[in-house]
Amino acid sequence: MPAPIEIGQGEDPRVVLGRVVHQQRIRLGISQEDLADQVGLDRTYVSGIERGIRNPTLLVLLRLAQALGVPAGRLLEEKTGSAGPQLTSA
């Protein structure tokens, strides 16, 4: 049972970022290691980001956005979740 994705605004930005990264990665159907490889980061570091315990830099955020195929700003906004783009089939 996948935890219901809630959107908190006073929430820790690192956790929010982690959720977005996770969602986008799953959407691409790739593993943390695959993503880490594409971004040029360590696999454990990507894991930390998704868990919201890391505080990545501007450069890393940008590379992450690129690898995930989303606009950089997307990583800081979290527009997904409720009434999300159900992403038909695939």
Partner DNA sequence: TTGTGACTGCTAGTCCGTT
Partner DNA sequence: TAACGGACTAGCAGTCACA
Binding site for DNA (CB under 7 A): 1-2, 25, 31-33, 40-45, 47-48, 50-51, 54-57, 59-60
Q: Which residue in 21, 24, 35, 61 binds a copy of itself (CB under 8 A)?
A: 61
What b/e string do you get for 11-44 counting C-beta neighbours within 10 Å, with b at 16 or more?
eeebebbbbbbbbbbeeeebebeebbebbebeee
Q: Which contiguous run of DSSP H or E holds residue 60?
A: helix 58-68
* Residue pointed to by tokens 């691409």: 28
47 binds, among a copy of itself, DNA, none (CB under 5 to 8 A by kind): DNA
Question: Is position 21 an interface residue for a copy of itself (rule: CB under 8 A)?
Answer: no
31 binds, among DNA, a copy of itself, none (CB under 5 to 8 A by kind): DNA
Question: How far is the C-alpha of 58 from the C-alpha of 62, rounded, in Å?
Answer: 6
Sole window of 27-35, 70-78, 81-89 interacting with a copy of itself (rule: CB under 8 A): 70-78
